[in-house]
């Protein structure tokens, strides 16, 4: 339990550092309300290497370790297995953002790295939405718990749609941060609570 909570806390700290601390330290000209998180590590951006390799990459690795540690502790079953597996799209996207940084301004089309970056974004948003939806379908949940997970999916997709809407370009960075804070924050809180409980035994282990 302690090791899983340690990785959860470390992942949350790394995300907060990358999303909120690095912009102020390295890029005083950066506008977190209007600019994507990925624009910090864009090709040609100041200190992009530091952001990618000291921010995105370790955050993604820590995220993957936290998910794997939770998986080992909680022992998902049934539809939970597919749902939790899809959540690995999130750390993969963070690691992929370091390897395939976007172009300056993160346009919809650009270099090969930009196209791969966009593909990773699409995969993580859709994969996460499907994963959480499957978790909402797991056996044993109360109605309010299912509704809560599905509401989270709706807010996640709303944030994604808002941040790619040209008319809302002035707040696309804010929408991205709100969406990630809601999704990752909820996952962290729920995982933190669940690892404090003893999972139900698997068949044959009673």
pLDDT tens, residue by residue, 22-68: 877 888 889 999 999 999 999 999 889 989 998 999 999 999 999 99
In this predicted structure, the answer to whether residue 172 has a pLDDT above a threshold of 90 is yes
Alpha-carbon Rg for the chain in angstroms: 18
**pLDDT in the model for residue 141:** 92
pLDDT bracket for residue 203 (50, 70, 90): very low
Report pLDDT for 123.
95
Going by the DSSP 8-state scheme, the letter that residue 21 receives in this structure is I
CA distance 31 to 174: 10
Does 28 or 86 have the greater pLDDT score? 86
pLDDT at 1: 66
The pTM for the full model equals: 0.90
What mean pLDDT do residues 162-171 have?
Answer: 95
Residue 109 CB contacts under 8 Å (≥ 6 apart), including other chains: 115
**Contact (Cβ atoms closer than 8 angstroms) between residue 182 and residue 152:** yes
What CA–CA distances, in Å, run from 139 to 38, 85, 134, 170, 191? 37, 17, 10, 42, 17
| CA gap 137, 157 in Å, rounded | 18
% of the chain with per-residue pLDDT over 70:
95
| Domain spans in the chain, listed from the N-terminal domain onward | 2-194
CB half-sphere exposure, 87, CA atoms < 13 A = 26
DSSP SS3 for 47: coil
pLDDT of residue 14: 92
For residues 35 and 44, what is the distance between their CA atoms, to the nearest angstrom?
15
Burial group, residue 70, by CB count within 10 angstroms (0-12, 13-18, 19+):
buried
Mean pLDDT over the full length of the chain: 91
């Amino acid at each position: 339990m302690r090791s899983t909570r340690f990785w959860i806390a470390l992942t949350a700290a790394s995300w907060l550092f990358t999303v909120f601390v690095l912009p102020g330290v390295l890029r005083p000209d950066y506008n977190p309300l209007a600019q994507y998180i990925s624009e910090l590590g864009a090709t040609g951006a100041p200190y992009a290497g530091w952001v990618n390799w000291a921010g995105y990459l370790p955050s993604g690795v820590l995220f993957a370790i936290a998910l794997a540690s939770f998986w080992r502790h909680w022992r998902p079953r049934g539809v939970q297995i597919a749902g939790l597996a899809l959540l690995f799209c999130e750390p993969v996207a963070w690691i992929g953002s370091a390897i395939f940084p976007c172009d300056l301004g993160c346009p919809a089309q650009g270099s090969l790295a930009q196209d791969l970056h966009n593909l990773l974004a699409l995969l993580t948003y859709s994969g996460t939405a499907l994963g959480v939806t499957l978790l909402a379908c797991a056996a044993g949940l109360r109605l309010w718990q299912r509704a809560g997970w599905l509401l989270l999916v709706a807010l996640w997709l709303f944030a994604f749609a808002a941040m790619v809407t040209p008319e809302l370009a002035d707040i696309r960075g804010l929408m991205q941060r709100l969406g990630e804070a809601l999704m990752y924050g909820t996952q962290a809180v729920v995982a933190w609570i669940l690892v404090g409980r003893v999972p139900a035994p698997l068949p044959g282990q009673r």
